[in-house]
């Protein structure tokens, strides 16, 4: 489910235009001007990516009109997300060692000294642990941006911006914990056992169709067999249902009454809505909650189960539900573990590929570990 944040509410108020007016703007846009703003956009996103590594405001401050309230708000947002990601890494005993970014400009309408841009950013981040767990882990985040640029003194500036940002959290609200994961051990699986849930295909599906993020397959696009629910509140649950239920490429769990997808029309309530999906998984017997609570509770639960391999473990192909104020707000798919045993997830809306599961969440978030029954 899409989280509507303070940034989004403000920016929606600022940039929302009636559809007919926007079409008129596009019709009047000067032709062949896309290349005029692309070099600026490439520089902007390269500098913002570097900001994530060192928090040096000099990388980006020249791209904003800091005396303009809307532009300054967009600038402060980038500074805050850089602070958050570095603070999160510190609490998890990690350090970021590399960041790379690419953008794909879908539309750039230029009219005089104003440009309205739609683009996708694919971000790759890499971290290492600062203790005894050698190796580097790479993960990806994909975001869709709506940006208004203004030209002043013959150069472009960001006037305002909207995007669903998975890193928009308060650095002071990260859950601190003295507990750490132990390296993951795969439970033994008897040979020649036929499972109704194909975990390998489920994870392959989650990786192939992870969307706009670095690392995703399918040309960084969703599976076109299914509707995209991003404009209807978020696509995370629809994607999770696809992962476990797609008969051709996914986990292959049979559709049931209440949980199904009608191709060309859309999914049922339980297929696309967070709480309904969670309730279906438990009531149908497809899923079982094997851990819940805060970040520290989750670490403890997973570590304890690692010592009791006769109990169901959190495994690739399982799901994590994110609970805010008693309601499920988001779903992600477990696709693996890093070198220390940190669960890694994929999801849609703000697209994620092999991202540490709690990155982008805070101490007010509760988690449900849902093991899909084999």
- In Å, how far from its chain's centre is CA 122? 11
For residues 351 and 164, the answer to whether their CB atoms sit within 8 Å is no
For residues 98 and 50, the answer to whether their CB atoms sit within 8 Å is no
> Is the confidence at residue 306, as pLDDT, over 50?
yes
Q: Which long-range contacts (CB under 8 A, 24 or more apart) does 229-233 make?
A: 229/272, 230/2, 230/144, 230/348, 230/349, 233/1, 233/2
User: From the CB of residue 16, how many other CB atoms can be counted at a distance below 10 Å?
Assistant: 10
121 strand-pairing partners: 103, 143
What is the token pair recorded at 54?
């060192």
Instruction: Return the percentage of the chain with pLDDT > 70, whole number.
Output: 88
The DSSP H or E segment spanning 278 is helix 274-284
Q: What is the per-residue pLDDT across 41-70, written as a single tens digit (0 to 9) for each?
A: 999 999 999 999 999 999 999 999 999 999
Q: How far apart are CA 47 and CA 253, in angstroms?
A: 44
Q: What is the per-residue pLDDT across 268-283, written as a single tens digit (0 to 9) for each?
A: 999 999 999 999 999 9
User: From the CB of residue 179, how many other CB atoms can be counted at a distance below 10 Å?
Assistant: 12
Q: How far apart are CA 351 and CA 361, in angstroms?
A: 15
Total residues found in the chain within this entry: 374
The DSSP H or E segment spanning 202 is helix 199-208
The pLDDT confidence band at residue 307, using thresholds 50, 70 and 90, is: confident
For residues 217 and 283, the answer to whether their CB atoms sit within 8 Å is no
Angle at the Cα of 149 from the Cα atoms of 145 and 152, rounded to 5 degrees: 160
The pLDDT confidence band at residue 194, using thresholds 50, 70 and 90, is: low
**Would you put residue 371 in left (φ > 0), alpha (ψ -120 to 50) or beta?**
beta
Instruction: Return the percentage of the chain with pLDDT > 90, whole number.
Output: 83
What is the token pair recorded at 271?
């297929």
> Is the confidence at residue 35, as pLDDT, over 90?
no
| Burial grade of 336 (CB within 10 A; 0-12, 13-18, 19 or more) | middle
Task: List CB contacts of 291: < 8 A, sequence separation 6 or more.
Answer: 297, 298, 301, 302, 305, 314, 367, 368, 369
Nearest in space to 63 (alpha carbons), one of 40, 82, 81, 79: 40
> Is the confidence at residue 5, as pLDDT, over 80?
no
Q: What is the mean pLDDT of the chain?
A: 90
Q: How far apart are CA 237 and CA 270, in angstroms?
A: 9
Q: What is the DSSP letter of 195?
A: P
The DSSP H or E segment spanning 262 is strand 261-262
Q: Mean pLDDT over residues 355-371, rounded?
A: 98
> Is the confidence at residue 168, as pLDDT, over 50?
yes
Q: How far apart are CA 290 and CA 293, in angstroms?
A: 11
């Amino acid at each position: 489910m899409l989280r509507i944040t303070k940034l989004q509410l403000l920016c929606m108020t600022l940039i929302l235009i009636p559809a007919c007016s926007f079409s008129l703007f596009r019709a009047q846009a000067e032709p062949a001007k896309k290349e005029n703003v692309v070099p600026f956009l490439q520089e902007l996103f390269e500098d913002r990516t570097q900001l994530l590594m060192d928090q040096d405001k000099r990388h980006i401050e020249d791209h904003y009109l800091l005396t303009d309230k809307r532009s300054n708000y967009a600038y402060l947002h980038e500074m805050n997300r850089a602070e958050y990601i570095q603070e999160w890494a510190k609490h998890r005993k990690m350090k970021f060692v590399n960041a790379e970014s690419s953008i794909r400009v879908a539309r750039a309408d230029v009219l005089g000294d104003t440009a309205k841009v739609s683009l996708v950013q694919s971000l790759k981040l890499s971290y290492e642990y600062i203790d005894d767990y050698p190796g580097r882990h790479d993960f990806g985040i994909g975001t869709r941006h709506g940006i208004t640029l203004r030209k002043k003194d013959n150069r472009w500036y960001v006037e305002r911006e909207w995007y669903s940002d998975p890193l928009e959290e308060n650095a002071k609200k990260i859950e601190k914990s003295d507990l750490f994961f132990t390296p993951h051990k795969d439970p033994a699986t008897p040979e020649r056992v036929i499972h109704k849930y194909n975990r390998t295909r489920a994870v392959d599906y989650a990786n192939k169709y992870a969307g706009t993020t670095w690392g995703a397959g399918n040309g960084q696009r969703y599976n076109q067999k299914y509707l995209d629910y991003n404009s209807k509140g978020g696509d995370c649950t629809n994607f999770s249902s696809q992962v476990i239920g797609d008969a051709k490429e996914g986990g292959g769990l049979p559709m049931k009454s209440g949980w199904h997808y009608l191709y060309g029309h859309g999914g049922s309530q339980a297929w696309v809505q967070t709480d309904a999906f969670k309730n279906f998984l438990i009531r149908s017997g497809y899923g079982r909650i094997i851990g819940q609570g805060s970040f520290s509770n989750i670490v403890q639960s997973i570590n304890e189960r690692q010592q009791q391999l006769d109990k169901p473990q959190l495994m690739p192909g399982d799901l994590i539900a994110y609970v805010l104020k008693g309601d499920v707000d988001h779903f992600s798919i477990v696709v693996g573990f890093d070198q220390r045993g940190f669960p890694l997830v994929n999801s849609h809306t703000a697209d994620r590929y092999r991202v540490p599961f709690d990155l982008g969440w805070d101490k007010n978030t509760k988690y449900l570990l849902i093991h899909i029954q084999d």
